[in-house]
Amino acid sequence: MSLFLEVVSVSEAVEAVRRIAPLPGCEEVPLEDALHRVLARDVHADIDIPGFDRSTVDGYALAAAETTGASEAIPAMLQCRGRVGMGSADVGEISSGACRYVPTGGALPEGADAAVMIEHAEQIGDDVLIHRPVAPGENVVFRGEDFGAGKVALERGRVLSPREIGVAAAVGADRVSVVTRPKIGIISTGNELVPVVETPGPGEVRDANSYLAGAFVTERGCHPVYFGIVRDEQAMLKRAVSSALDRCDAVLVSGGSSKDERDNTAAVIAELGEVLVHGIAIAPGKPTIIGTAGGKPVIGLPGHPASTYVVLVAVVDHLLAAMQMTTVSRRTIRAQLTENVPSTRGREDYVRVSVRNGKATPVFGKSGLLNTLVQSGGLVQIPASSEGLEVGEEVEVILW
């Protein structure tokens, strides 16, 4: 098999994984179980929200026109016609020259179109002095202003945070339709790998990538299915990938994607389906493989955990998002670079950095070292068109 004849850009790799992402299923779940799930269908308001005109302040409900010209020196004087009780349906109406006290969230009486904050009013007996004018609609929310009956309150593809859960409850959605959690098969390959419970012997290392990749897909709302360690034998890897394809929606294989004749991952994908990408212009992570088998994505990841994590962030993140009908959401900050960072034109580099007090310091290390993952706080992307970044340059840091 010819290797790395057509290395593709990161953007082409992202386009490839989004194109092969299988469409997700959906299921209905109780609202209390929907946190961090992705909406599969829009959520509509069942009634007007709010269902009545309401005050947003503690103060006096009135007709805004009654306060025209009011000031500290010459206040507007109105008669207070009682109080509006919270949750009361009997709010009555106000006539010219009158107002009613209303608490925050209380309903406005008929005839009122604004509310004056209590701080800007003074009650003396049954009279209220208004010390500043208000405009129509000031300090009030009108019926249906938040969400109109039948209108979309939450659109499909939105990840349900506590904020969205609260909105869904307010519009009467006690159950919501969410995307089924994609099952992602996790396979690690290599004769040198041993389980984490074992002490490695000479030439051996513990299997870090299974846990790294599994935790990553879990964090992205997917369900990892672990298939353990597979030796560098094509027949064994083929059986493992076939088993994973039977049970999962996509498969991640770490290791076995090096630039030599032992490139078992590419051979197995080609035998079971089709290799779409074999090599990405990215550092670290060039020997990444993208393919399909049985209509499902199979991704070959590098063997070194640090390289694996960069590819997960730069490419696989987009696959997992597409499989859930959403887009990649990243936390980023701007920081000033403390050192020069060289790069090779034509290759997209991802440099690990630590961030402190607005400064981004590159965390350089030899290939394969794990400590850079925990010493860094994120990545700085260097475009393929650049030959590097200079000290003092403002950069965007993709936070871990």
Considering only residues 364 and 224, tell me which one the structure prediction assigns the higher pLDDT: 224
**pLDDT tens sequence across 325-346:** 999 989 999 999 999 999 999 9
Tell me how far apart the terminal alpha carbons of the chain are, to the nearest angstrom. Answer: 36
Q: With 90 as the cut, is the pLDDT of residue 258 above it?
A: no
Q: With 90 as the cut, is the pLDDT of residue 255 above it?
A: no
**pLDDT tens sequence across 165-203:** 999 999 999 999 999 999 999 999 999 999 999 999 999
Q: With 80 as the cut, is the pLDDT of residue 145 above it?
A: yes
Q: With 50 as the cut, is the pLDDT of residue 1 above it?
A: no
pLDDT of residue 261: 42
CA–CA separation, 389 vs 112, rounded Å? 61
pLDDT of residue 153: 97
Q: With 60 as the cut, is the pLDDT of residue 59 above it?
A: yes
Q: Kindly indicate the confidence band of residue 44, based on its pLDDT and cuts at 50, 70 and 90.
A: very high
**pLDDT tens sequence across 76-118:** 999 999 999 998 877 889 999 999 999 999 999 999 999 999 9
Parallel/antiparallel/unpaired status of strands 332-337 and 359-362: parallel
φ, ψ of residue 277 to 5 degrees: the values are -135, 130
pLDDT of residue 177: 98
Rounded to a whole number of angstroms, the CA Rg of the chain reads 30
| pTM confidence score | 0.85
**pLDDT tens sequence across 269-303:** 999 999 999 999 999 999 999 999 999 999 999 99
Indicate the average pLDDT of the chain.
94
Ordered domains of the chain (ranges, CATH)? 10-25+181-322 (3.40.980.10), 30-48+149-179 (3.90.105.10), 54-141 (2.170.190.11), 332-399 (2.40.340.10)
Q: How many residues are recorded in the chain?
A: 400
pLDDT of residue 256: 63
Q: With 60 as the cut, is the pLDDT of residue 244 above it?
A: yes
Name the packing angle between helices 234-247 and 264-272 (round to 10°).
50
The alpha carbon of residue 32 and the mean position of all alpha carbons in its chain are separated, in whole angstroms, by: 19
